[in-house]
Amino acid sequence: MKIDILTLFPEMFTIFDHSIIGRAKENKILDINTLNIRDYTLNKHKKVDDYPYGGGAGMLMAPQPIVSSIQKAREDNKGKVIFLGPRGKTFNQEIANELSKEEELIILCGHYEGIDERVYKYIDLEYSMGDFVLTGGEMAAIPFIDSICRLIPGVLAKDESFQDESFYNGLLEYPQYTRPPVFEGDEVPEVLISGHHEKIRLWRKKQSLLITKAKRPDLFEKYELSKEDKKILYNFKK
């Protein structure tokens, strides 16, 4: 996948040169680039913002530098232009799954009090990371991009690395344990050291169902129970 990030702070994205994403870049699975919006302004002082018409607090990102940087990115990237802003649909795992199938994406990071309204006609999709305020779009873009990239085949060592994770299948992940078998008096559940793979699978499924129901009832209500799920929950109540 090729991703171009339009930002005022390209240095913030050196985080993608490390760990799993960095390895995927080295292996040519991912191509993540940054374009500094400030490089495309026609203002001789390199300004990219101005006061909003009608007054109000703060500064607004001007349209020309943003549009010019989008046009530059589109010379080599035909993907959808995505803006991370408050009007967008709340981002979730389902959206990450869909976007991971794209071959190219362009991510626009906003700043200050937002972007000039006239930029929106150049934007294909808008997503919100939640109902809270960040100091800039870069802060939102990092988890947004990471959550998409880790779903691309070959980025993680094994597909199982994300298929059992929280939210991937609509449920929270089951509890996990490692050595030692006893820590401060707490023992690892016996089933996990039994070596019985089917019993382990059923135990993990039951735990995922119960934890999701207790901790995130909103997710549980959306989850479509299978016959096996219903049987597991029925046996738990008995």
Q: What is the pLDDT of residue 46?
A: 93
Domain that holds residue 93: 2-149
Q: Whole-angstrom Cα distance, residue 123 to residue 164?
A: 33
Q: Whole-angstrom Cα distance, residue 166 to residue 170?
A: 7
Burial 132-142 (b: 16+ CB within 10 A, else e): eeeebbbebbb
pTM of the model: 0.86
- Residue 201 forms part of a structural domain: yes
Q: Are residues 127 and 210 in the same domain?
A: no
Q: Are residues 140 and 212 in the same domain?
A: no
Per-residue pLDDT tens digits of the chain, which is 238 residues long: 999 999 999 999 999 999 999 999 999 999 999 999 999 999 999 999 999 999 888 899 999 999 999 999 999 999 999 999 999 999 999 999 999 999 999 999 998 889 999 999 999 999 999 999 999 999 999 999 999 999 999 999 865 466 665 566 889 989 999 999 999 999 999 999 999 999 999 999 999 999 999 999 999 999 999 999 999 998 887 6
Q: Whole-angstrom Cα distance, residue 170 to residue 208?
A: 10
Q: Which residues contact 145 (CB under 8 A, 6 or more apart)?
A: 3, 5, 16, 32, 107
Q: Are residues 22 and 110 in the same domain?
A: yes
